[in-house]
């Protein structure tokens, strides 16, 4: 759990909130909470990765054709 205390009595609330949000972001609390929001089966993770690899390869082929001056296949 992340705790932030005032440095002195004159510190503003805005500054305190700013320091708190920075610590939360650095700790990765929000990222882990968003990641755990929806459970995803390992099989679908594997499928997502393979689809991403295929997309990347297709994009590379398309960019190569564009650089060679050919029309990319649609």
Which is higher by pLDDT, 67 or 72?
67
d(CA 65, CA 74): 12
Give Cα separations from 31 to 6, 10, 28, 43 (angstroms): 26, 32, 5, 22
Task: Write the pLDDT tens digit of every residue in 7-57.
Answer: 888 889 999 999 999 999 999 988 888 888 888 788 888 999 999 999 999
Give Cα separations from 64 to 38, 53, 71, 74 (angstroms): 37, 17, 10, 14
Domain ranges of the chain: 1-39, 40-74
């Amino acid at each position: 759990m992340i705790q932030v205390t005032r440095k002195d009595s004159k510190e503003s609330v805005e500054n305190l909130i700013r320091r708190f949000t920075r610590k939360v972001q650095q700790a990765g609390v929000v990222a882990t909470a968003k990641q755990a929001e929806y459970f995803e089966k390992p099989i679908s993770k594997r499928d997502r990765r393979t689809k991403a690899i295929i997309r990347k390869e297709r994009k590379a082929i398309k960019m190569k054709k564009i650089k060679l001056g050919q029309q990319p296949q649609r």
